[in-house]
Amino acid sequence: MSGAEYGGDEVGAIVLDIGGYSTRAGYAGEDSPKADFPTIIGIAPSKSDDDVMETSNIQDTNKRDKLDYVVGTNYITAVREGLELQSPIQDGMIENWDLFEHLIDYVYNKVVKSEREYHPLMMTEPAWNAKAKRAQLTELMFEKYQLPAFYLAKNAVLSTFANARSTALVVDSGWEQTSVVPVHDGYALTQAIVRTPYGGRYISQRARNYLEKMSIDLTPATHIAAKQIVKERLKPIYTLRKLPILTESYRDYMTDQLVADFKSIITQISEDKYDSEEIKRLPSLEYEFPTGYRCSFGAERFELTEPMFSQEDTASMTLNSHQAIPEVVLSSGNACDTDIRSALFSSLVVVGGNSLLKGFTDRLVGEIRSKSSASKVHKCVTNNTTIERRFSSWIGGSILASLGTFQQMWISKAEYEEHGKICVEKKCP
């Protein structure tokens, strides 16, 4: 039996794109995901049995003390004693399978609210996903979740489709890293993938260190009961809410959220090569912290993001080192066959939330043009809307899973039963 009877119009497929920062979930054929929530699981001592029912949390029966597992922004950011926050994902791959299952349960119970056994599931994966993890995931989906059909698609390939291409050099600047994956005729050229840790998390850490060094109080809004209006740069005057004992992981997450807001409003990337004198002359921008403290930022707005583009250490041009983003793009494109190089460089697809920093694509294209031979035509085909940049792999998955010609590509339950979990290697190359 083939997978042909699944998907299509009768029973919609579900598309799930789990990133290191957020998870996007919804139905194939739709323009955007039904939900986009943090890839974080909150774990806290259970309050009462009633509460567990109400939030559909799951008790951990292995432990003497019952635990609640919560997912979704409202639950993970709620002020709650002993709430620990953890991610099931590391380096784009599933690292903690137990937490991962809580995330899947949340998707089915709270987001798509549907029976698992009726809907095929398309999941995205990083192009560097480990073979053993792919097999383990396939097994879990058929054995535990009893899915009728399953497919694993590489997120760079889906971003290529979302931009109406089949060949592209996909630059994905997300939370954990920036990766460059060449895609040719719908296949990821995995031997030429190059990655760098310069991504959203790097900028957040840098911004946080900077703000802490300036002794700026980073107390989040949810912890503040009342505040007064004070003049710029004067010590904030506020009162704290009565707080229970909070964990370090929770405090860290809340601070990261505050810094993420600061970063998206204040920081920006110098569109031309960074010139410290010129940048000093650009207008500064005021930011108000949740405490009421107000301060203007000038050159820092550009300095905080600059290392992503002008890391001077080019001594080690090996793959996957700490190179600046333009170098990583060039290394990846140049690691491909010469006959497809110009097709790749003329179709640069820039995706990921961190690429929404102002000036990112202009600077990237400019740097690549100046660093490579003039004969190459460098064109950026990326769509500039926030939704399409952040959700590109989900959107590509939504398109692919609803194509009539795709329906025979699913791994059907029957195929899984006949060939076992290794069939993912053949069916989802």
Judged by the rule CB under 6 A, the positions of this chain that interact with ligand ATP are 19-22, 92, 172, 174-177, 199-200, 204, 260, 263-264, 352-354, 356-357, 390
Min separation Cβ 200 and ligand ATP, Å:
2
Min separation Cβ 34 and ligand ATP, Å:
16
Amino acid at 221: A
Among ligand ATP, Mg ion, none, the one that 7 touches (CB under a kind-dependent 5 to 8 A) is none
Min separation Cβ 58 and ligand ATP, Å:
24
Give CA–CA dist 102/416, Å, rounded.
24
- Can you say how many angstroms the Cα of residue 178 is from the centroid of all Cα atoms in its chain? 10
Of 324, 314, 319, 323, nearest to 334 by C-alpha is 319
Among Mg ion, ligand ATP, none, the one that 196 touches (CB under a kind-dependent 5 to 8 A) is none
Nearest-CB residue to ligand ATP? Answer: 200
Min separation Cβ 9 and ligand ATP, Å:
29
Q: Are 262 and 212 in contact (CB under 8 A)?
A: no
Among ligand ATP, Mg ion, none, the one that 257 touches (CB under a kind-dependent 5 to 8 A) is none
Among ligand ATP, Mg ion, none, the one that 92 touches (CB under a kind-dependent 5 to 8 A) is ligand ATP
Torsion sign (Cα): 160, 162, 166, 167? negative
| Sites of contact with Mg ion (CB under 5 A) | 19, 174
Residue 149 or 188: which CB sits closer to ligand ATP? 188
The tokens describing 224, both together, are 């503040």
The dihedrals phi and psi of 153, each to the nearest 5 degrees, come to -120, 145
Min separation Cβ 312 and ligand ATP, Å:
24
Residue 177 or 361: which CB sits closer to ligand ATP? 177
Among Mg ion, ligand ATP, none, the one that 356 touches (CB under a kind-dependent 5 to 8 A) is ligand ATP
Residue 57 or 382: which CB sits closer to ligand ATP? 382
Among Mg ion, ligand ATP, none, the one that 390 touches (CB under a kind-dependent 5 to 8 A) is ligand ATP
Residue 382 or 412: which CB sits closer to ligand ATP? 382
Among Mg ion, ligand ATP, none, the one that 157 touches (CB under a kind-dependent 5 to 8 A) is none
Min separation Cβ 350 and Mg ion, Å:
12
Min separation Cβ 331 and ligand ATP, Å:
19
Residue 21 or 150: which CB sits closer to ligand ATP? 21
Alpha carbon distances (Å) from 383 to 36, 125, 294, 350, 365: 19, 22, 34, 8, 14
